[in-house]
Amino acid sequence: MGMVKIMGFNKINRSSAGIATAFLILFSVFVLSGCSDKNSIAAEEEKNNIETEIKEEQDILPDVSVNSESENQEAAEPETEALEVKSPENTEPEAESTEPEKEQLKATDAEKLLKELFLSQSGIDEEDILTFVADDYDRNGSYEAFTLVGAVSEYDDAKEGEIWFVDENQCLMVIPQKVYWSADGKLDFERRAYAFFNEYYATGALSHVWTVKEGKPVEDEISCKGEVSQKVENNDFQITDSTYDMMRDSDGNMLGHTWKPYYFYYDEEGDCIHEYAGTEITANEAAELAGKDLVGEAVPQGAVPDSIIKRENGIIHINFHTEDEFGATFNHVSWNIKEKRYINEYENSYIADPIAQDGIYLKSLLSSYQY
């Protein structure tokens, strides 16, 4: 009996091995019973015990067919789990796509479609496109583009050609042929974008500034008032005024080229560009704002103060001039109220001591006000 239990340890072979052993013992008992009548009663008892044991063994043993199917399922489970783990990896790039990437893809597709539309509508060859500045300028979900078509000068890389506008509804020229230093600038704000094209001049540039309003290309008020620089900080940017206002000769002619930055910002609430315009203040008011005698410190001895201008962004300009037998020389000094330091405009930096810089500041670049 003990032998049956030991051989039945293996799950699958336990039943067959136990039954075979039991029948072997049963057969031996029958042989022995034939040799001796004395043992017949014992043999019968042994037979009954064996049959009982077999029945118990069968009751205890699990069904082989059920176990085999169950074990096959257990063997398959790890493979199924492995597939489930790998499945997310196959979709990982799509799952990790970010909104900026989607927006970039959208912009790229829109630019491609607009360019194809422009070529078909204008009849211009693709090789003549020098710049193609596409964006959703009015942030209404539809893209538009301004494009310069023409040729590049072999002499100084200047770009000569026409500025066109294209969207899904129209294709038209907005600026006739001119020469540009660059024609791919953009001021990019949350509610609106502006494209600008810097017209070529020997010593500077004038920026043509365009956007889109109510589905139409519109030239902004700041267009051709100076050279637009890229956005500096937040919604602030600068326009450089290139003019001749450094000297006045004995005949009254203004001479001397100067470049002065004027300060602008995009008004998100009003959806428009504003200048940090200035108002004229007194020397005492300037001293109160600076916490010291600003005019006395900034204006050199022998020079004559002309005007003091305070801008909406907290910058003060002190205009002054000196005279001799050849005429007058005009300069200014700039002070930042918030930083409590002077400004070196040519290097766009703050300095501790006043520095005389060339030219005369106006209260507003956009106005027609003159001294």
- DSSP E strands in the chain: the ranges are 129-135, 144-152, 159-166, 171-188, 193-200, 205-213, 216-219, 227-228, 236-249, 254-267, 272-275, 278-280, 304-311, 315-324, 327-336, 341-344, 349-351, 357-358
Please give the pLDDT value at position 11.
39
Q: 62-68: long-range contacts (C-beta < 8 A, 24 or more apart)?
A: 62/11, 64/12, 64/15, 67/11, 67/12, 68/12
The series of mean pLDDT values per 10 residues for the chain, 371 residues long, is: 38 43 43 44 54 51 44 43 37 54 74 96 96 96 97 91 97 97 94 96 90 97 92 89 94 94 96 97 98 97 97 98 95 97 93 96 80 36
> Residue 88: which residues within 8 A CB-CB, separation 6 or more?
95
Q: Which tokens is 251 given?
A: 């005949």
Cβ–Cβ < 8 Å for 241, 256? no
The per-residue pLDDT for 96 is 53
User: ∠166-112-129 over CA atoms, to 5°?
Assistant: 60
User: What is the pLDDT at residue 106?
Assistant: 75
Q: Is the overall model pTM greater than 0.75, yes or no?
A: no
Contacts of 279 (CB under 8 A, 6+ apart): 309, 310, 363
150-209 pLDDT tens trace: 999 988 889 999 999 999 999 999 999 999 999 999 999 999 999 999 999 878 899 999
- For residue 290, the 8-state DSSP code is H
